[in-house]
Amino acid sequence: MTTPAEAVQTFTDALARRDVDAAMAVTASRVSVTVHPFGLYEKDAAVLRSVLADLVRAFPDLMISVSRVITTGDVVTVLLKAEGTQADGYAGAINTEKHLDIDQAWRFVIADGSITEVTAYWCQAQLYRRLAVKRYDQIAIA
């Protein structure tokens, strides 16, 4: 039986390899997805797949460094840093080939070895600052 920590490690290891399919393999089809920086609140694996795929596409040299994994029952919280060089538009920001490094927290709920809930926290102000965005109401103008 896969433990909650093992399921999440499979997910984060896969993301670190930029392997979206492998990350989604441990995710329930009706996974609840909350990505606060994007204002995303959905219950659909396709939404999570799209979030991960966009990240990997925009930052093809993406590096994920996990600093802490905290297991509290069937909830696993991962603190990580995402780094990469922008190579395509991301979150509305045009590609200016800037380097991104951003600390994030991902909270997972696991049931029967599958991830049933994902909630992601990071600061979009930090992200836009690194991607040379100047105004929230003009994100595509660098």
**3-class state of residue 8 by DSSP:** helix
Site for other proteins in 66-105 (CB under 8 A): 68, 70-73, 75, 77, 79, 103-105
In this complex, which beta carbon is closest to other proteins, that of residue 50 or of residue 124?
124
Site for other proteins in 30-49 (CB under 8 A): 36-37, 39
Least Å distance, CB 57 to other proteins, is: 22
Q: Is 125 an interacting residue with respect to other proteins (CB under 8 A)?
A: yes
- Residue 49's Cβ-side half-sphere holds a number of Cα atoms within 13 Å equal to 12
Q: How far apart are CA 96 and CA 113, in angstroms?
A: 40
- Phi-psi category of residue 33: left, alpha or beta, with phi > 0 → left and psi -120 to 50 → alpha: beta
Least Å distance, CB 72 to other proteins, is: 4
